[in-house]
Structure formats: C-alpha cells, structure tokens
Amino acid sequence: MDRSRQRGTGEESIYRIPPFYYIHVLDQNSNVTKVEIGPKTFIRQDNERVIYGPEKMITVPPRHYCIVENPAVRGQDNDIVIDKSGQVKLAHADQEIRLAQEPFPLYPGEVLKQTVTALKVVTANTALRLRAILDFEDQSGDKKVAGDEWLFEGPGTYIPKKEVVVDETIRATIIRPNQAIMLRARKETLDRDGTPRVTGEEWLVRKVGAYLPGAYEEVVDVVDAYVLTDKKAIHLRATRTFKDDNGKLRRNGEEWLVKVEDAETYIPNVYEEVVGVVPITTLTNRQYCVIIDPVGTDGKPQLGQKKLVKGEKSFFLQPGEKLEKGTQNVYVLGEDEGVILRANEAFKDHGVDRKPGDRWMIRGPAEYVPSVEVDVVTKRKAIPLDENEGIYVRDTKSGKVRAVTGETYMLTQDEELWAKELPPAIETLLQSHKDPLADRSDRSGGPSSSKSREKTKVVTFRVPHNAAVQIYDYKEKKARVVYGPELVMLGPDEQFTQLSLSGGKPKRPNVIKSLVLLLGPDFCTDIITIETADHARLQLQLSYNWHFEVKDKDDKQEAAKLFSVPDFVGDACKAIASRVRGAVASVQFDDFHKNSAKIIRASVFGMDEKQKVRDRFIFPQNNLIITSIDIQSVEPVDQRTRDALQKSVQLAIEITTNSQEATARHEAERLEQEAKGRLERQKILDEAEAERARKELLELQANSAAVESTGQAKAEAQSRAEAQRIEGEAAVQQAKLKAEAARIEAESELERLSRAREAETKYVREQNTLEISKAKEMSEIEVGKFKNMVDAIGSETIRSIAVSGPEMQVKLLKSLGLKSTLITDGSSPINLFNTAHGLIGGSALLAPKADSDDE
C-alpha cells in the first residue's frame, strides 16, 4: 500500500488507512471537511476529495507535551462539537496544551504550533521566572493578572500553561564564607526575610549557602569581605545617611576607619564606599613623621594644623590625615655635620625667641628631630680642604664672596657655595689638560675631559718651569704675574690673562691660545717675501732663537713688561721682516745670493762701533731678545728669476768643475815629470853600483882560482877519506833504520789489519742486525698491509680476482681456437730448447694414440 501523503489530489478512489493514521476528506458539494481515522478502507465518492493524508496521528509520550493552535471545541463528555453545517467547531486564536494521552488526529483547522517537546525539569537551586500573559486563576485559587511574575522553584517538573510564558531560568548564587551578594529590587516586593523593598532598593545577603533571587530581585554583584590585620585597615565613606550594622548613624559623606579591633573581616554595606586600604604606619626609635590636618579628640580633622609623631610607634592615618614628607629619619649629626633650620612661625626654642623666617644652624655631634614650627633647609657637612684646594663661599647677607683654602670648613646658615664662571675660551684651555711646554707645537684642541669643572671649587693652575702667568683682579684693578714652577689659585674676582699669539708659516694672528707665557729660550719659524734692488722677489724661511730676559722676578714693573705686548710672536716677526726687507731692497740679487747670511744678520742685529755684527736684538717693550737667525731656505718667487738662478748655479757649478779638472790635470803632469826624473837618476845609480859589484866579483874569482890550484890535491884526498868514512857510517845507520822501519811497518800493518778486521766484523754484525730488524719490520708491514688489504677486499673478492685471469685467458683462447700458447712479459728469458723438446715429446706421445685411433 502506498502510504505517501496525497495533499489536494483526489485521483485515487480507494484509500487504505492503517491504524493510527487519518485523512481529511473535503465534500465538494457542502464544502465540509471531515476526518477519517484508520484502520479503514475509504472509498472516495465523486464529490469528495482527499486534501490531507494519510497522516500519522500525534503521539505524546509521558513527560512530554505539544501545543495545538485553533483547537476543536469539546463538550462536557469530551466529544467534538459539530456546528450546524457539520463542520468541526474550532476555538479560533486559542491554544491548547496537550499532555500524555492516546494518539490523536488533527481536525480540519487545527495547527500543531509546537511539536512534541519534553517537559522542562527544574533542578534544585534553580527556578523558572514565569510571567502571566492572560488573567487566570491557578489551582490554589490565586488570581493572576496579566504581567504578574513569580518563580517556579525546583526541584520539580514544570507543566506549561497557555496563560503563562517562561521568561528565563534563574540559578541560585552560592554565598561562600566572607562573601555577600548585593541585590536590587526591580519592583516593590518582599524579600525572603519578609522585609518590604521598594523599587531600586539595594541590600546585602550575607547568609552562607545558595541564594535564589526572588521574582522581582536581581543580583547586582558578589561582594568579597576585606580581611583586616594588625597592619591593615579599610577607609570607608558613606554614600547616603544610614545606620550601620552596629546601629551608629552615618551621615552622607562621612569617612571612618574599620580596624581589626572592630572586625576581623568586613563586608562593606551597600551605602558604604571603600576609599582604600590603609596600611599601618610604623616608626622606629630613629624615625619621626609630621601629620597634616590631624584628627582631634572629637574625631574631626583639625584643618591647617600639624602634629609631630616620634617613634617607636605604630598607627593608622585617620581619614583626612596625610604625612607631610612621609616617614623621615631622625637627623643624626656627626662632628663634621650640621643642619640649617628656618622658622615657619614664632615660637620659643629652648628659651630663644624665634621669629618667622629666622635661620640658624645646629652642629653635631647631636641627634635632632625638627618640630612642626621648623623647616629643615638643608644638611651641611664640613668640606675637608688641602693646602692646594679651596672653595668659593658667598655670604648671603652681605653678598661678599671669599675663597677658603687649606682647612676643613663648614658653611654657616648665612653662607653658600658660589660658582665661579670663567670665559669659554679659558674653560676650554683648562679642560684640554695640555702641557704648555711639551705640547707647545700642538695646534689641535687636545683631549678634553668629559668631567666638567666643579665651579664652586677654587680654580687652580700649575705654571710650568721657566714660564709666567698673569692674573688680573677686577675688584682691585691690579694684575700679578706668577713665575713657575708654581700653583696658581684664583680669587673670586681674579681672571687669567689669555694670550693670543701668532702661529703658522707664514705667521697668522690668533693661532695659538694659551694661558702661559714661556720665557724661553725657544725658536720660531717664519716665511717672508723680499725684493732686491734689481726687483728679484725671493721667499725666505727664517728661524729665530729668542728668550725673555727677566733680571728681577720680584720687580712688578719688569714682570708687567712681559705681558705688555699681547702678541709678541707676531710683533717680533713683523719687526724682523721689516728690517730684512729694508736691507735687501738696496742690494743686487747677485750680492744677496753670495752674502745673504751676512746681510740678514746685519740688518736684524745691526753693526757696532767696530763694524761687526751684534749678537742680539732686544725689544725693550717686553724684554724679548733675539739671539740668532737661521736662514733655512731661499726660494725665488718669480719663475723667471728661479730659472735664471738655476742657470747661474749650474754655470757656476760647471766653471768650478772645469777649474778643478784643469788643476788636477796640471798636478798630475807635474807629478809624472818628477817621477820620470827620479827614475832616470835611480837607473844611473843602479848601473854604477852594478859595476862596483862586478869588480869585486872578479877579484874574488882570481883569489879562489889561486887557492883552488894549490889545495886541490889535499882537498881531494881529505874529501875522499871523509867521504868513505861518512859513506860507511851512513850505510850502517841506513841498515839500522831500515830494520827499525821494517819492524814498525810490520807492527803497524798488523795493528791496522786487526783493527780493520774488527771494524769490518762490527760493521757486518751491525749491518746484519739492521737488515734483520729491517726485514722483520718490513715483513710485519707487508703482513699488516696484506692483512688489511685482504680484510678490506674480502676473501670472496680475492678468489674472484685470482680466478678471473685464467678463466678469461681460457675463454679467450677458446674463442680464438688455439690449443696452446706461450705468454711472456718480454724481459724474462725462455728456454726454447726445452720448450721444443716438450712439444716434440708431446707429439711423440700423441702419435701412437693417433695410429690406434686410425685402426
């Protein structure tokens, strides 16, 4: 059977309706729809049409419900009411909630607004907020008006009603120890304790456990209790006038403290605002504090007053109180310490009347706690000063400034340290830390110290040896000169005189900045341009040796002369250059070129009465003395003059060279002639001497011939006898010597042979030992090498390598069709006769076998 729904089609005539199914049939004649319920076989008439179904009946299981809109009206006996036209009568715009029952169909016009839904189970500590949308009377007889709200508290199962809707599910709030919940009334109501509450009123519930707010209550917040200890209190403020938990009336804006003596834990009321947590203020016996606006005995703050509290003590600051400068330590003053105090108001200090603004000092050793009428201006400590150290002190009453040096000094209440300002240029020179003597040729700024000068300390400067510094006192309008080595300490109104000297080549003004005037001896170099009488322009580089002549260092006028010329270098160089230019302007170039040193020295130093050049040039303004001038170079400025001078110099060099060559040649010729004369003379003397020697020789020859003729016989006889005697002795001696030589030779040969044999034996023995050790080590190396190779290659690989050669050869021979072959390396000889014999023998052996095969 096809149980598919047939909506609005009446094509089939027979409908088989199973159990618990139904259909809606429309009578097209009367326009009345009826319900057919199974099990049943429905035969459709021609004027009928099935507009809905077959559809399964609605089954509501236990603990479930559904909502039907436009339900059918039922009579007293729960039967469906039919109107006069035969149509099921409906309660339009109404709803019906149906609980667990037998399966039922929906009549024409009924709508299943909510499908079968499980009933809502409300657990413990939860509730449903219900709201009436229609006036009705509940089961207990209470009348509910539309808009009323109430709670359905669990545990339980809520059965819905058509007059009631569920707004929300409310869960109970758990109140733990030291907690409370703040509630607010949404409408006028009674709380759970029966206390009436107006709309907007707030209150606290402190009871530990689960609390379920009422229908017109809402939870604003969970309030935690403040845990109070000996070191902590809370500061409260009333937001409106009320009575606290202790029954005390608190007015709006009133502030108070709650301490541990009042409660160990405290939950602020709804009309109490926690301003903050106040920690305890603890003072040791070495501390104190000043409280501003302290609270009096009546509990009200005394505005504008102060209170001094000394330790040991612990207390809480009351509302409105505050510490002036926090917790302060007692002033413990040593022997070299003190405090300066100022009175804020008139009072008596140990019998001394103090007026507002008075200042005084308390010196140590002492222990001091200032009262509320006194302000501590500052704490002073004695400043230890060496004899070369000092500070500038100004009297605040008179304004005078003085320098204190060489003692330990503590400023009084009317004194302060004064900062001495120096010009920036002098500050730079003092910070550069350059040695005025060793670094006098250094024009760089030098390494400036990263640490700035303490302006309250006395300015000190070390004047090097053979130098001077001028210091000017602007107050006394005096200047003093200090000669080195000395340590200069500036007074409050004194300043260094800065020297700005010329430097460079040629000299340029304001190149050298210094505080020290070196007295010399020293030198300076300058480059000047001159012009001779014949208009040859030359550039001279001159070096001057100078020094200052100071006869009496105690003479102030003579000392002042040293600094009378601000730029003595530039002044001296200009004066010398002027003199040199004036002298050279009247001299021709050739004369100047030959006598430049004499002309320059004479122009600078001048001539004395004996027309000799003086040895010094004095500047009387500052006692500067020039002692010598060194001409380092002379170069023409004009190119043509330079070329002419170069040609002149080359020509002079050539002339001098030729003259020296001619002189040398003449001297050589003269010496050669003298040598030839001496040689001829010596030849004549030698020939004369040779003739005299020849004469003496002839005379001696004659004498010897005479002697020879007379004594020849005698001499021959004697000589023969002597010769025979000597010959015999010589023969004997020779025989002895030969015997001795033979003996010695035999012994030496024997010894030589024995030593040779011994050395040879030792050599052979050692060589054999070395050969044995070598062979042993070589064998070990070969064995190790072979073992390593075998281990590395593997036995299988070696076997394959060993077999591969013969197998390859056999395969090759088989492929070539050769029966036998002979392979040699070309270097080893082969006995072909034996080979041939072997071949013949082999063939002989094969012959009978062949014959037998033929048979």
* CA 493 to mean position of chain CA atoms: 47
Q: Which residues, in sequence order, are CB contacts of 348 under 8 Å at separation 6+?
A: 354
Decide: residue 183, CB within 10 A, 0-12 exposed, 13-18 middle, 19+ buried: buried
Mean pLDDT of the chain: 85
Question: Using CA atoms, how far apart are residues 631 and 543, in angstroms rounded to an integer?
Answer: 7
Per-residue confidence (pLDDT) for residue 128, from 0 to 100: 92
Distance CA 530, CA 539 (A): 6
Is residue 629 classed as helix, strand or coil in its secondary structure? strand
Is-contact 91 43, C-beta < 8 A? no
Whole-angstrom distance, CA of residue 13 vs CA of residue 25: 12
- Listed range (5-9, 351-355, 568-572, 684-688) with the worst mean pLDDT: 5-9
- 731 burial (CB, 10 Å; 0-12 / 13-18 / 19+) is exposed
The alpha carbon of residue 206 and the mean position of all alpha carbons in its chain are separated, in whole angstroms, by 59
Rounded to whole angstroms, how far apart are CA atoms 722 and 716? 10
Distances in whole angstroms, Cα of residue 463 to Cα of each of 194, 468, 470, 517: 102, 7, 11, 9
CA-to-CA distance for 101 and 120, rounded, in angstroms? Answer: 18
Average pLDDT value for residue range 608-625: 87
Tokens of 687: 């020939």
Q: Nearest-CA neighbor of 368 among 408, 397, 332, 399?
A: 332
Q: Name the least confident of 206-220, 590-604, 709-723, 838-852.
A: 838-852
Q: How confident is the model at residue 8 (pLDDT cuts 50, 70, 90)?
A: very low
Rounded Cα distance between 645 and 212, Å, is: 126
Beta-bridge mates of residue 379: 339
Residues 28-56, mean pLDDT to the nearest whole number: 91
Of the pLDDT bands very low, low, confident and very high (cuts 50, 70, 90), residue 805 is confident
pLDDT over threshold 60, residue 433: yes
140-150: average pLDDT: 87
267-283 pLDDT per residue, tens: 898 888 999 999 999 99
The confidence score (pLDDT) of residue 4 equals 39
pLDDT above 50 (res 405): yes
Here the tokens at position 725 are: 């005697």
Distant-in-sequence, close-in-space partners of 287: CB < 8 Å, separation ≥ 6: 310, 311, 327, 328, 329, 330
pLDDT at 394 over 90: yes
Is 24 a residue whose pLDDT tops 90?
Answer: yes
- Per-residue pLDDT, averaged over 318-326, amounts to 88
Residue 535 pLDDT class (50, 70, 90 cuts): confident
The residues pairing with 514 across neighbouring beta strands, listed in sequence order, are 499
**ω before 54 within 30° of 0 (cis)?**
yes
CA–CA dist 735, 809 (Å, integer): 85
pLDDT higher than threshold 70 for residue 839 = no
SS3 letters across 540-606: EEEEEEEEECCCCCCCHHHHHHHCCCCCHHHHHHHHHHHHHHHHHCCCCHHHHHHCHHHHHHHHHHC
The secondary structure of 710-756 as a DSSP string is HHHHHHHHHHHHHHHHHHHHHHHHHHHHHHHHHHHHHHHHHHHHHHH
The rounded distance, in Å, linking the Cα atoms of 60 and 704 is: 190
In the numeric block, which tokens belong to residue 686? 């030698």
Alpha carbon separation from 375 to 198, 302, 311, 357, 817 (Å, rounded): 57, 21, 19, 10, 134
Judged by average pLDDT, the poorest of 170-174, 569-573, 619-623, 843-847 is 843-847
CB 42 within 8 A of CB 36: yes
Dihedral of CA 680/682/684/690: which sign? negative
Residue 14: strand pairing partners: 43
Note the residue count of the chain: 855
Backbone angles phi, psi at 573, to 5 degrees: -65, -40
Tens-place pLDDT, residues 637-656:
777 777 777 777 788 788 88
Q: At what angle do helices 596-605 and 568-584 cross, to 10 degrees?
A: 120
Task: Kindly tell me if the per-residue pLDDT of 5 is higher than 70.
Answer: no
Check residue 357 and give its pLDDT: 87
Each residue of 236-263: pLDDT tens digit?
999 989 888 888 888 898 888 999 888 8
What does the alpha-carbon distance between residue 276 and residue 803 come to, in Å, rounded to a whole number?
Answer: 105
Q: Dihedrals φ, ψ of 206, to 5°?
A: -105, -5
Q: What is the mean pLDDT of residues 709-735?
A: 82
Residue 676 phi/psi, 5-degree rounding, is: -65, -40
Q: Which two tokens stand for residue 429?
A: 């020179």
* Range of lowest pLDDT (130-144, 294-308, 441-455): 441-455
- How far, rounded to the nearest angstrom, does the alpha carbon of residue 511 sit from its chain's CA centroid? 41
Q: Which residues pair with 486 in a beta bridge?
A: 463
Tell me: pLDDT of 55 over 90. Answer: yes
750-794 pLDDT, tens digit per residue, is 888 888 888 888 888 888 888 898 888 888 888 888 888 878 887
Q: How is residue 2 written in tokens? A: 């096809």
Tokens 């005539």 -> residue: 13
Distance CA 37, CA 140 (A): 39
114's CB contacts (< 8 A; 6+ apart) are 66, 67
Q: At what angle do helices 639-793 and 795-816 cross, to 10 degrees?
A: 90
The structure tokens listed for 650 are 């080359």
Query: Looking at beta carbons, which pairs linking 354-362 to residues 24 or more positions away fall under 8 Å?
Result: 359/413, 359/414, 360/413, 361/412, 361/413, 362/333, 362/338
* φ, ψ dihedrals at 243, nearest 5°: -105, 130
The β-bridge partners of 41 are: 16
Q: Percentage of residues in the chain with pLDDT exceeding 70?
A: 91
pLDDT of residue 851: 44
Q: Which of these, 593, 616, 602, 592, lies nearest to 544 by C-alpha position? A: 616
At 702, list the tokens: 């004659």
pLDDT at position 821: 57
Q: DSSP of 64-76, one letter per residue?
A: EEEEEESPBPB-T
Closest CA to 264 of 225, 206, 209, 316: 225
Q: Is the model's pLDDT at 620 over the cut of 70? A: yes
Q: Which amino acid is at 578?
A: S
Which CA distances in Å does 538 have to 144, 324, 586, 591?
133, 85, 14, 14
Percentage of residues of the chain with pLDDT beyond 90: 25
Res. 371: pLDDT tops 50:
yes
C-alpha of 417 from chain center: 40
Answer whether the bond into residue 71 is a cis peptide, omega within 30°.
no
Among the residue ranges 158-162, 669-673, 702-706, 802-806, the one predicted with the least confidence is 802-806
On the question of pLDDT at 675 being above 90, the answer is no
Peptide bond into 485 cis (omega under 30): yes
- 401 by DSSP, 3-state: which? strand
Of the candidates 155, 74, 166, the residue with the CA atom closest to the CA atom of residue 114:
166
Q: Give residue 829's pLDDT band: very low, low, confident or very high (50, 70, 90).
A: low
Q: pLDDT by residue (tens digit) across 450-501?
A: 578 888 999 999 999 889 999 999 888 899 999 989 999 999 999 999 888 8
Strands 101-104 and 111-118: unpaired
Is a pLDDT exceeding 70 seen at residue 594?
Answer: yes
